[in-house]
Structure 1
Amino acid sequence: MTDAMSSLYPFLRFDDSPGEPSAESRRSVDAVLAEVRRSTTDKAREIMELRRHVHREQRHLLAACGTAMAERFARGGRLFAFGNGGSSTDAADLATQFLDPPPGSPPLPAFALTADAAVVTALSNDVGFDLVFSRQLAALGRESDIAVGLSTSGNSTNLLAAFDEAKRIGMLTVGITGGDGGRMAELDSIDFLFAVPSASVHRVQEAQTTIYHVLAELSVEGVR
């Protein structure tokens, strides 16, 4: 047991003497494992409560947004998702929900604006990172399309510019953020804004995953 623990948790201090570990070493390991269990339980409880809160407070907004997205897809629209850092990964996951829906559901056109490294780096280098998403929407977006931006803070300048550009085109705009919504909450260019009320980036991203999965299910179901 001690050998296994020391390989998994090398930062713990184990007794180097041969034979059975000392009582002190065992107490040290037990205390750390108890703290890990407590921390894991607390985090699971927190994210479950956040998800319940989102359901209570934003379920009608989720339903309305899912319906609006389905209507755009039915008109031949496409979805463009974008975000920075971990949110860029979520944007790619969101696009995948439409391209690879559950069996029996039609695939729908969706794209992550961070997927092409050449495009992202060229725009960042030549016109500036603040315009890396809005420039792509200006080139690709149509009035029937959907723009979904993800941010844990709601303050990313390149997302704000993208929403303004999407609204100028006439696209349906959906913002998914955390806290009080940040600067995204101040925009007139976002049709549907979902904010996860937490200061923890990890909990926000976990709840955001639930939000966009629900939106994807509602949209696909609405088109089917």
Structure 2
Amino acid sequence: MTGLESLYPFLYPSSGGAGSGERVLGEVAASTREKIAEIDRLRRRVADEQAEEIARCARAMAASFAAGGRLVAFGNGGSSTDAQAVAACFTVPASPGPALPAVALTADVAVLTALANDVSFEVVFARPIAAAGRPGDIAFALSTSGGSRNVLAGLAAARRTGMLTVGLAGGGGGAMAEPGTVDHLFVMPSSSVHRIQEAQTTVYQVLGELVRDELRRS
């Protein structure tokens, strides 16, 4: 078996003998069902264990927005695109509600690459927060490990500025779970990066909805 046949054996039943295509498709279907069940279990666990903290965080974020605060989101890799999704979740809501001021630091490629090239990758989030962050703004940090040094540096800069800090992490929370690191931390208890990011997506979308509910009630 070579080339495309080795990559996609289910497209070439003859290469693996009679029934090989059906067997592979069956294995893929079983794997898909297990992954769906796994993320469902993780989301239910996060909801069961962290729902009250999510509600408290939403109230704090709503108070920040009501007082003129802005949200700044940041993260690395897949979390960098999640940071942009967080910003979009608040500025362009899927449900009716006001547009809330939110930006993703990872969207400013010029600043990010200039700092990474000229200073250090560790300060790519801390420097913009120190420069433009204001007391009462929201720093929204995403990390699958909870230990990214530039994310931790960004949170430290936000605390010095007097910003509300919100963190999403995975596993055991990493360094983000250490006392005094973040005001509101939500840990996705999984070792799978995929499941962590899927659960984090649910958390920040729920936060977006709850924040708008709080603002409507105020």
TM-score, length-normalised on structure 1? 0.90
SS in 2 for 1:114: helix
Alignment partner of 1:149 out of 121, 137, 141: 141
**Aligned residue in 1 for 2:9:** 12
Structure 2 gaps of 5+ residues are none
- The letter for the 2-side match of 1:59 is A
CA deviation after TM superposition for structure 1 residue 104, in Å: 3.2
CA deviation after TM superposition for structure 1 residue 157, in Å: 0.1
SS in 2 for 1:152: coil
Alignment partner of 1:205 out of 191, 197, 207: 197
CA deviation after TM superposition for structure 1 residue 103, in Å: 4.8
- The letter for the 2-side match of 1:97 is C
- The letter for the 1-side match of 2:78 is G
Q: Deviations over 1:56-91 (max 9, x none)?
A: 000000000001000000000000000000000000
SS in 2 for 1:176: strand
Moved more, 96-105 or 141-150: 96-105
C-alpha distance 9-111 of structure 1, shift in aligned 2 (>3 A): farther
Q: Which has the larger Rg? A: 1
- Identity %, equivalent residues: 54
Map 1:112-131 to 2 at 5 A: 112-131=104-123
Cα distance in structure 1, aligned partners of 2:32 and 2:170: 21
Runs of 4+ in 1 over 4 A off after TM superposition: 7-10, 21-24
Tell me if the contact between 1:14 and 1:25 (Cα under 8 Å) persists in the aligned partners: no
Tell me if the contact between 2:64 and 2:137 (Cα under 8 Å) persists in the aligned partners: yes
- The letter for the 2-side match of 1:74 is A
**Aligned residue in 1 for 2:71:** 79
Cα distance in structure 1, aligned partners of 2:199 and 2:83: 14
TM-score, length-normalised on structure 2? 0.92
CA deviation after TM superposition for structure 1 residue 22, in Å: 5.4
- The letter for the 2-side match of 1:121 is T
Cα distance in structure 1, aligned partners of 2:137 and 2:24: 51
Tell me if the contact between 2:10 and 2:25 (Cα under 8 Å) persists in the aligned partners: no
**Aligned residue in 1 for 2:212:** 220
Count of residues in Structure 1 that have an aligned counterpart in Structure 2: 214
| RMSD between aligned residues | 2.0
Cα distance in structure 2, aligned partners of 1:134 and 1:37: 44
Cα distance in structure 2, aligned partners of 1:98 and 1:135: 23
C-alpha distance 103-212 of structure 1, shift in aligned 2 (>3 A): closer
Structure 1 gaps of 5+ residues are 1-6, 16-20
**Aligned residue in 1 for 2:42:** 50
Cα distance in structure 2, aligned partners of 1:120 and 1:137: 12
- The letter for the 2-side match of 1:11 is Y
CA deviation after TM superposition for structure 1 residue 187, in Å: 4.5
Cα distance in structure 2, aligned partners of 1:96 and 1:90: 10
Tell me if the contact between 2:134 and 2:162 (Cα under 8 Å) persists in the aligned partners: yes
**Aligned residue in 2 for 1:40:** 32
CA deviation after TM superposition for structure 1 residue 26, in Å: 4.1
Q: Deviations over 1:121-170 (max 9, x none)?
A: 00111220101001000011001100010000011000111111101111
Q: Deviations over 1:96-121 (max 9, x none)?
A: 01111145311000000000111100
Alignment partner of 1:30 out of 17, 22, 29: 22
